[in-house]
Amino acid sequence: MRVAGYEISTDPARLDRDVVHRFLHDEAYWALGVPRDVVERCIDNSICFGVYRDGEQVGFARVVTDRAAIAYLADVFVVAGHRGRGLGTWLMECVMAHPELQGLRRFMLGTKDAHALYERFGFRSLSEPERMMEVASPYKPGPE
């Protein structure tokens, strides 16, 4: 898919894993310090969406899913310098239209500051948060 000189692809071979790791490790409040091997496994076990301009990766999103009942949207970003052009909205349109993500019983995500974006696509606060539980562990520093 192409829009205004940008394109979005789900081809895992096109992903610039250095760009993804650098952004998550250095800039993403939810993944600061994430080890490279963790990012590699996340990419390998998700449906990934790359946003590209002239072959350079400038955005990313991934969905962890069983492709039948449940999915979790994670690691959505557009790098500085390419923000403010509607790329996040377009990226979400592509995620939500992906054929392997249709008819799911539950599609979840976590966000600190992008509620307005995700609400446009039907995401809402948990209707019964008392039913949800988690084990949360910070990334432990390790060799890079």
Domain boundaries, the chain: 2-122
pLDDT tens-place string over residues 1-40:
667 899 999 999 999 999 999 999 999 999 999 999 999 9
Annotation: CATH topology of 2-122: Aminopeptidase (3.40.630)
Could you write out the DSSP letters of every residue in 13-48? GG--HHHHHHHHHHT-TTTTT--HHHHHHHHHTSEE
Strand partners, 58: none
> How do residues 60-77 score in pLDDT, each as one tens digit?
999 999 999 999 999 999
- The predicted model scores a pTM of 0.92
